[in-house]
Structure 1
Amino acid sequence: MATDDLAAVLESLRPAPGSGGLADMDAQRCARALGVDGVAVSVTPGNGLNELLWATPGASTRLEDLQFTLGQGPGPEVALSGAAVVVPDLAAEPAARWPVLLPEVLALGIGAVFCLPLRLGEVCLGTMTLQRARPGPLAQTPMSDARIVTHALTAALVKDEQSWDAFAAAQDSSHFYRAAVHQATGMVSAQANVSVAEALIRLRAYAFQQGRSLLEVAEDVVARRVHFRDDDADEPGPAPGGGTEGP
């Protein structure tokens, strides 16, 4: 039953005594409990990048990767505004809202998205994005349950004042899924002599031009297979010296 799944999800997110605040979540069970096809949870330490914590495989994971690569979509909007973004029919959404993302998401077979903030006061710590193939609004009960889950997720992330600070300070640690992007952004900033924000824009643009994910391009930068020169007229290319140059 959905109620049993919801209770199990909430219990799994209950911060354990002595834990670092980052609890585990069964994403597929959460999706069942909320009556959707997929769910993803990302945190936003506040540097223009987010970190995927949990996601159901398939469309939800791909949606998060697309938003991360393109920098547009419900997740980035929620992270910026702190307000929920509810789109019950993506096919009816004006193309100008997410001009690059929208056709990609529709091609994934996603018909509706419901993105909720993980809020601590006025601060948005992250997002929980629900997606469903069938268009249409989310009923009142599952939407209320989804908000309950976001409160539990927030509590799990910030069990005490130190837990979120510790996570934010360690955001570029190697065990995080997107650690390579954090590292590559710094490398591109140094290579092209631009700000970190501009470096991220260049990484995203190059990934989109190549039809690849931002993570894949970042891994090439970190491995010195791709180098961003400091000449705006130049496209990124193979690293000089057979990929052995410094950052």
Structure 2
Amino acid sequence: MDDHAAAWRRITSAGGDVSLAAAARACVADLDVDCLGVSLVVAGELRFLGHATDERALRLEDAQLTTGEGPCTDAYVRRTLIEEADLHQAFARWPAYTQAAAGQLVRSVTALPLATGHLCIGAVDFCRTAPGLLTVPQKSRGGAYARILALLALDEHPHLLTAGHRPTRPGPQGYPPSVHMAAGVLAEMYRLPPDDALARMRAHAFRHDQPLHQTVDHVLTHHTLD
């Protein structure tokens, strides 16, 4: 049985709905990784969380959105597998992301783009608390899961198919509308250009080890960073 068929069999063997969450759970168990995060990209720019298997994955995906660096961003922009055997040795590669990973006790990561045909809609991160790379068979199975995750993400978020495309670029691949709303609030309060307000909000989230969405919610509710 090939990897793609075997992956589908694992996903459906538990019964229930076939979903992004179900595929993520099956993938984590099959590849013997500790957590998994999926980030999705709309129009080549707007990125949002597709799924996180636990709080560690949620914090790491948010860290990549906040800092604009990390394996998920690189896998999406470069359209290829990205891996790091020991994040303790990867500070020069991803200085902010490696700090976030250390806080979550994550030591190694493999990221793959989520693509179907010529369409790339995001990336998936496979994270482990131990150093080391996935084996060749694990990477092959991971590629099969990535293709399935892409299809299930499109099923759950069909607007990914119809959004206008923009060329990809390094750095944060855009932000959800709520982030821009919060930046607008800060820009008006402190008489800042919108980009400076956004940078201040990202810096605040990173400095306080806070998910960006939590900082955004606070700004929208209280109209202040503090």
With the shorter chain as reference, the TM-score category is 0.7 to 0.9
Do the aligned residues in 1 keep the contact of 2:59 with 2:211 (CA within 8 Å)? no
Change (3 A) 1:75 1:9: same
Residue type of the partner of 1:194? P
Question: 2: CA distance between counterparts of 1:199 and 1:67?
Answer: 19
Deviation sequence 1:82-134 (CA, Å, 0-9, x none)? 222111222232x2222222133123221110011112455531111000111
Report the Cα offset of residue 218 of structure 1: 0.5
Do the aligned residues in 1 keep the contact of 2:20 with 2:153 (CA within 8 Å)? no
Q: Flag the structure with higher helix content.
A: 2
Report the Cα offset of residue 52 of structure 1: 1.1
Deviation sequence 1:57-79 (CA, Å, 0-9, x none)? 13222211222222221122223
Report the Cα offset of residue 200 of structure 1: 3.1
Is 2:131 aligned against 1:129? no
Which residue is equivalent to 1:184? Answer: 182
Residue type of the partner of 2:10? A
- Using the aligned pairs only, state the percent identity: 25
Aligned mate of 2:146, from 144, 150, 153: 150
Deviation sequence 1:16-43 (CA, Å, 0-9, x none)? 9xxxxxx432233320012211111110
Which residue is equivalent to 2:220? Answer: 222
Question: 2: CA distance between counterparts of 1:200 and 1:123?
Answer: 29
Residue type of the partner of 1:85? I
Which residue is equivalent to 2:25? Answer: 28
Residue type of the partner of 1:220? H
Which residue is equivalent to 2:169? Answer: none
Tell me which structure has the larger Cα radius of gyration: 1
Query: How many residue pairs get matched?
Result: 207
Q: What RMSD, in angstroms, separates the aligned Cα atoms of the two structures?
A: 3.3
Do the aligned residues in 2 keep the contact of 1:9 with 1:25 (CA within 8 Å)? no
Is 2:17 aligned against 1:8? no
Is 2:48 aligned against 1:51? yes
TM-score normalised to the size of structure 1? 0.69
Deviation sequence 1:216-240 (CA, Å, 0-9, x none)? 11012211331xxxxxxxxx66xxx
Which residue is equivalent to 1:71? Answer: 68
Change (3 A) 1:101 1:148: same
Do the aligned residues in 1 keep the contact of 2:21 with 2:53 (CA within 8 Å)? no
TM-score normalised to the size of structure 2? 0.75
Which residue is equivalent to 1:212? Answer: 210
Do the aligned residues in 2 keep the contact of 1:6 with 1:30 (CA within 8 Å)? no
Unpaired runs of 5+ in structure 1? 17-22, 169-177, 227-235, 238-247
Is 2:91 aligned against 1:91? no
Change (3 A) 1:193 1:96: same
Change (3 A) 1:205 1:25: same
Unpaired runs of 5+ in structure 2? 165-175
Bigger RCO of structures 1 and 2 (CA < 8 A, at least 6 apart): 2
Change (3 A) 1:199 1:11: farther
Which residue is equivalent to 2:171? Answer: none
